[in-house]
Amino acid sequence: MNKPSPAIITPAAIRTDLGAIFVSLELSRSRWVVTSLSPGGAEKMSKHSVPGGDLAGLMDRFRLLVAKAKARTGQDFPIVTIQEAGLDGFWIHRALVKEGIESHVVDPASIATSRRRRRAKTDRIDGEALVRALLAFKRGEPRVCAMVRAPSPAEEDARRIMRERKTLTGERVAHVNRIKGLLFAQGVSGYEPLRRDRRKRLEELRTGDGRELPRHLTAQILRELDRLELLLAQIKAVEAERDAELAQAREDALPASAARLLEIRGIGPEFATLIWSEGLYRHFDNRRQVAAYAGLAPTPWQSGAVDQEQGVSKAGNPRLRTTMIQLAWLWLQHQPSSALTQWFRDRVAHQGGRSRKPAIVALARKLLVALWKYVATGVVIEGAAMKPA
C-alpha cells in the first residue's frame, strides 16, 4: 500500500517592494526630520530636515523624493507617511491627506524597542524605526504597531467643552484652597469662598487672636475672589453650552449620542457628555477594544509556570478611565438592582470585603462595555433602572 506523499508547504511570501516611497516624520518645534526609503535606492534610508511648521517646505521635499525615484526607475510612486501622535495633534495628518498623501499616525508606545537599560535615542534612530514599523504594517504583519484613528475636526472640537470645564474646575479648587490656606495661617477656619455672601463674611472675619485681617492680606484675598468669580461665571457658561448641545441631540433623536446615556438613572449631563465625547463616539469592533481604549484592560504575565495578573494597563484615555471609576461607585448607589451591582456585591462578599478597589475597576470595565452596547446597538443593561420619560 502506497503511503500518500506529504503535502509540500510553501511559506507565504513576504512583500518587500510595495511600490511606494515610505516616509517617517520626526516632529519638533524647531525642525522636522524626514526619513525616507525609496524604490531603487539600494534599501538605504535618506534623511533630511525642514524647519518646524514649514508645510510648504515639506511638500517640496516630497516632490523631490518623487522626482528622484522616477529618475532611477522611470515610474511614479506614491508617498506613504507615518508620524507619532504627540503635541502637534492631527493638523499635519489632515494636511497630508488633503494633498492626496496616504498618512498614518502611530501610537509611539506600541512600537517595540530594545529592552537594554541604556539605549541610544536620536531623531535618526527614531526615524528609521518608524519607517521599519510602517513597512511591517503595510506588509500586514500583526501587532507590529497600533495606528491611531484620527478624529474628525468636529469630533475633536466636541471634546473641548468637557476638557475646558475640567480645567476650570481645577483652577476653582486651587483658588478656594489658596484662600482657605491664607486664612488658616491667621487662625481663621470655616470660611467658604463659594458662598454667595463671601465678600460680606470676609469683612466680618477676625484672626485667631482677635485682630482684623491685615490690610495686604485682605487685598490679596479680594483679588483671589475676583478670579474665583470669573471662573464661576465661565464654568456656568460652559455648562450652559453643554446642556444646549444635549438638548439639541435629544431633539434630533440621534440613534447613538450622549443624549441616550441620559435615559439611564444615575447618569447626568456631566458623565454623559464626557463618556460620549472621550470614548463612545468612536467605532469599536469588540469589547476588548473598548476596555483597552479606556485603559481598563487587564495585563497578564504568563511564562511557563508563572501566571499572575499585573492589574490594569492604564495605557488609554485617562479622562475616560477616571470618569468610569467614579461612575462605577455611583452606579452602586443609583442602580442597586442591576446585574452589575449584584455581581460586584457577590464578588466582594465572597472575598471577605477586601477587594473593593480591584473589584470597582472591574465593574468600571464591565459598565463601560455595557454602555457601549447600549449606545451602539440599543442593548439595555440587565436590571438597570431608566429615568421616567
Domain harbouring 138, CATH code: 3.30.420
Q: Which one has a higher pLDDT value, 258 or 294?
A: 294
Q: Which residues fall within 8 angstroms of residue 348, CB to CB, at 6 or more apart? A: 355, 356, 359
φ, ψ of residue 308 to 5 degrees: the values are -145, 165
- Are 202 and 114 found together in one domain? no
Q: What is the pLDDT of residues 200-219, one digit of tens each?
A: 999 999 999 999 999 999 99
C-alpha cell at 199: 465678600
Name the residue with higher pLDDT: 15 or 202.
202
Give yes or no: residues 95 and 202 share one domain.
no
Asked if the model's pLDDT at residue 303 lies above 90, the reply is: no
Q: Which residues pair with 27 in a beta bridge?
A: 32
Domain boundary among 105, 129, 150: 150
Is the same domain home to 40 and 97?
A: yes
Is residue 198 domain-shared with residue 139, that is, in the same domain?
no
Q: Looking at the structure, tell me whether residues 31 and 125 fall in a common domain.
A: yes
End position of a domain, from candidates 91, 118, 150: 150
Both 269 and 242 in one domain: the answer is no
Contacts of 338 (CB under 8 A, 6+ apart): 331, 381, 382, 383, 384, 385
For 142, phi then psi, to 5°, come to: -75, 145
Q: Can you tell me the mean pLDDT for 265-269?
A: 91
Together in a domain, 161 and 146: no
Q: Is the pTM here over 0.85, yes or no?
A: no
Beta-carbon count within 10 A of 157 CB = 11
Residue 174 within a domain: yes
Task: Give me the number of domains the chain comprises.
Answer: 3
Report the alpha-carbon distance of residue 375 to residue 278 in Å, rounded. Answer: 14
**Judgement on whether residues 243 and 293 belong to the same structural domain of the protein:** no
- My answer on whether 98 and 114 are in the same domain is yes
Q: How far apart are CA 151 and CA 233, in angstroms?
A: 30
Among 252, 283, 313, give the residue marking a domain's end: 252
Determine, yes or no, domain membership for 16.
no
Q: Among candidates 23, 78, 80, 87, which has minimal Cα distance to 52?
A: 87
Most confidently predicted of 15-19, 255-259, 359-363: 359-363
Predicted confidence (pLDDT) at residue 256 exceeds the cutoff of 60: no
The count of C-alpha atoms lying within 13 angstroms of the C-alpha of 272, restricted to the half-sphere facing its C-beta, is: 24
Has residue 16 got a pLDDT over 50? Answer: no
For residue 130, count CB atoms less than 10 angstroms from its CB and return exposed for 0-12, middle for 13-18, buried for 19 or more.
buried
At 154 the pLDDT is 87
Backbone angles phi, psi at 301, to 5 degrees: -130, 100
Tell me which of 221-225, 251-255, 278-282, 332-336 is least confident.
251-255
pLDDT given at position 353: 65
Residues 266 and 350 in one domain: yes
Residue 9 domain-assigned?
Answer: no
- If pLDDT is split at 50, 70 and 90, which confidence band does 2 have? low
pLDDT at 263 over 60: yes
Q: Is residue 15 part of a domain?
A: no
Structural domain containing residue 357: 258-377
Q: Which amino acid is at 148?
A: V
The 3 state secondary structure assigned to the chain is CCCCCCCCCCCCCCCCCCCCEEEEEEECCCEEEEEEECCCCCCCCEEEEEECCCHHHHHHHHHHHHHHHHHHHCCCCCEEEEEECCCCCCHHHHHHHHCCCEEEEECHHHCCCCCCCCCCCCHHHHHHHHHHHHHHHHHCCCCCCCECCCCCHHHHHHCHHHHHHHHHHHHHHHHHHHHHHHHHCCCCCCCCCCCCCHHHHHHHCECCCCCECCHHHHHHHHHHHHHHHHHHHHHHHHHHHHHHHHHHHHHHCCCCCHHHHCCECCCCHHHHHHHHHHHHCCCCCCHHHHHHHCCCCEEEEEECCEEEEEEECCCCCHHHHHHHHHHHHHHHHHCCCCHHHHHHHHHHHHCCCCCHHHHHHHHHHHHHHHHHHHHHHCCCCCCCCECCC
Is pLDDT above 70 for 22? Answer: yes
Query: What backbone phi and psi angles, to 5 degrees, belong to 317?
Result: -75, 110
- Among residues of the chain, what percentage have pLDDT more than 90? 56
- Distances in Å between the alpha carbon of 285 and those of 147, 282, 290, 371? 15, 10, 8, 15
Give yes or no for residue 88 having a pLDDT over 70.
yes
For residue 180, is it within any domain? Answer: yes
